[in-house]
Structure 1
Amino acid sequence: MQLFYNPNISNNSKEVTFDKEESRHIVKVLRMKDGDDFKITNGKGSFFNAEITNANPKGCLVKIISEEIQPPMSYQLHLAVAPTKLNDRYEWFLEKATEIGISEITPIICAHSERKTIKPDRYEKILQSAMKQSLKAYLPVLNEAVSFKDFINSEKSSEGLKCIAHCEETDKKSLKSVINKNQKITILIGPEGDFSSEEIELAKMSGYIPVTLGESRLRTETAAIVACHSVAFKNE
């Protein structure tokens, strides 16, 4: 199935025009023409069956034929992950987490972070591409990068099960032992240098449970994927 993304479609839409970049891909790269059909998602839970009515590479016009609703995940997973020193590793995490199943992502800037800036436009495109590739109808929410302290004190950090995965040799529980089905879960993943002791204490004071992801010391992006898969596996 060929799946495209257009955030401007609603259940009242009768037709939609793709932007120049997507239109060129449809007409010039895929060589689709008038009368060809495909599916579109708005990233909000809907698949739309559509037919091309004007295969214009500068603005491809399609007619909406029908709508299908994809049920949402039974759980809500929010990963707050420190940007990695090498940007491509963070992009790999974004891609794979979207394929596995994630609701929301927040880049957090920590005391030991070597990278303090992100590329939100590029990250959004990676999320969109991964959503289409994995045939999902829900686009994960990508939040602005914030400091660790600001995240801990935000409303996004106030509900559901809250965990912090760190490497300090202190009392920690296995992530798999604390998660249950159908939960709202927030998991903090630190930078290459791990969270600082002060950050760990602040998280604990805010209700975060210290967890371990296994015996191996994992890279930031690997830890994030292990956490993502652990939650998804628990909900199968």
Structure 2
Amino acid sequence: MAIFDKKRIPLKMQLFYYQNTFENTFHLDQDESKHLIRVLRKSKGDKVHFTDGNGCLLTCTIIDDNPKKALLRVTERQYSPQSDYYIHLAICPTKNLERMEWMVEKATEIGVDEITFMVSEHSERPNLKMDRLEKKMIAACKQSLKTRFPKLNPIRQMSELVIDKTFDAYQRFIAYVDKENDRHLFDKAETDRAYIILIGPEGDFSQQELQLAFDHHFLPCSLGKSRLRSETAGVIAVHTLQLKNNLKII
């Protein structure tokens, strides 16, 4: 399987999602077939692109443009390797589902690798529908031409996440509002690392939670002078880590 350069992906390319990329020919279900043939007006012989969300990019040719069961043949497989850094966002969800959907969508478009929702002392009652969030995430990946989909985790206790040995090799951050916590994430982050950053609820983390994080080597960081909503802070954190690593490339 060839390796492709993300920088050479045409911005006008349309990307579709199909899980079983090992097949050489495959049928789309009725909804996807209708969208491809009726809405996008694709026809027999046209080339379209699919991903499995695990780094595989398929170039396919439509061999049967049936709007109820379109048939496609794979003509080329390419593979996107993992990047040199990894961004894990752990965030306390708000009660408002739409705000969390917006956050997942935008963080995905910018480039997050993993999202974990967590409950802290000051959390509001979470109202999450993981299937809806996953659909938003997939749509955002297709929109932003990403062949690697983020991992979306169910809710965990903040205290449990902080002591998890999985993150021992990560550069660990906790963002919160305090006039003495004025060193920006951009300045503290190293390049080419795996990161986990904790974003608290709108009531922020408790002092006990902050101390627990510090005791487990989480570094305090600022996301700027403004007081942000939780979902805005999550998006800014992901963007900051992306910017830090992409500026290095430039």
- 2:219 maps to 209
Alignment map for 1:127-206 (pairs within 5 Å): 127-171=137-181, 173-206=183-216
Q: Secondary structure at the residue paired with 1:144?
A: strand
Deviates more, 1:55-64 or 1:131-140: 55-64
Question: Alpha-carbon deviations, 1:138-194, whole Å to 9, x = none?
Answer: 101101111212222334433310000011444453211211111100000011111
Q: Secondary structure at the residue paired with 1:91?
A: helix
- 1:59 maps to 69
- 1:7 maps to 19
2:181–2:222 Cα contact (<8 Å) kept: no
Equivalent in 64, 86, 90 of residue 80 of structure 1: 90
Q: Secondary structure at the residue paired with 2:208?
A: helix
Amino acid at match of 2:219: I
Q: Secondary structure at the residue paired with 1:116?
A: coil
Instruction: State the alpha-carbon separation in 2 of the partners of residues 233 and 8 from structure 1.
Output: 33
Q: Secondary structure at the residue paired with 1:173?
A: coil
Amino acid at match of 1:24: K
- Which segments of 5 or more consecutive residues in structure 2 lack a partner in the other structure? 1-12
Q: Over aligned residues, Cα RMSD in angstroms?
A: 1.7
Q: 1:214/1:171 Cα in 2 relative to 1: closer, same or farther (>3 Å)?
A: closer
Cα deviation, residue 61, structure 1 = 2.1
Question: Alpha-carbon deviations, 1:71-98, whole Å to 9, x = none?
Answer: 4333100000111232212111111111
Equivalent in 207, 229, 232 of residue 219 of structure 1: 229
Instruction: State the alpha-carbon separation in 2 of the partners of residues 119 and 90 from structure 1.
Output: 10
- 1:230 maps to 240
- Which segments of 5 or more consecutive residues in structure 1 lack a partner in the other structure? none
What's the TM-score once normalised by structure 2's chain length? 0.87
Instruction: State the alpha-carbon separation in 1 of the partners of residues 230 and 125 from structure 2.
Output: 12
Question: Alpha-carbon deviations, 1:205-234, whole Å to 9, x = none?
Answer: 111111111111111111111111111111
Deviates more, 1:27-36 or 1:76-85: 27-36
Instruction: State the alpha-carbon separation in 2 of the partners of residues 125 and 84 from structure 1.
Output: 19
Amino acid at match of 2:211: E
What's the TM-score once normalised by structure 1's chain length? 0.92
Amino acid at match of 1:103: D
- 1:19 maps to 29
Instruction: State the alpha-carbon separation in 1 of the partners of residues 37 and 163 from structure 2.
Output: 48
Q: Secondary structure at the residue paired with 1:79?
A: strand
Instruction: State the alpha-carbon separation in 1 of the partners of residues 177 and 191 from structure 2.
Output: 26
Identity %: 39
Amino acid at match of 1:76: Y
Amino acid at match of 2:133: Y
Deviates more, 1:75-84 or 1:86-95: 86-95
Amino acid at match of 1:209: L
Instruction: State the alpha-carbon separation in 2 of the partners of residues 39 and 171 from structure 1.
Output: 46
Instruction: State the alpha-carbon separation in 1 of the partners of residues 198 and 183 from structure 2.
Output: 14
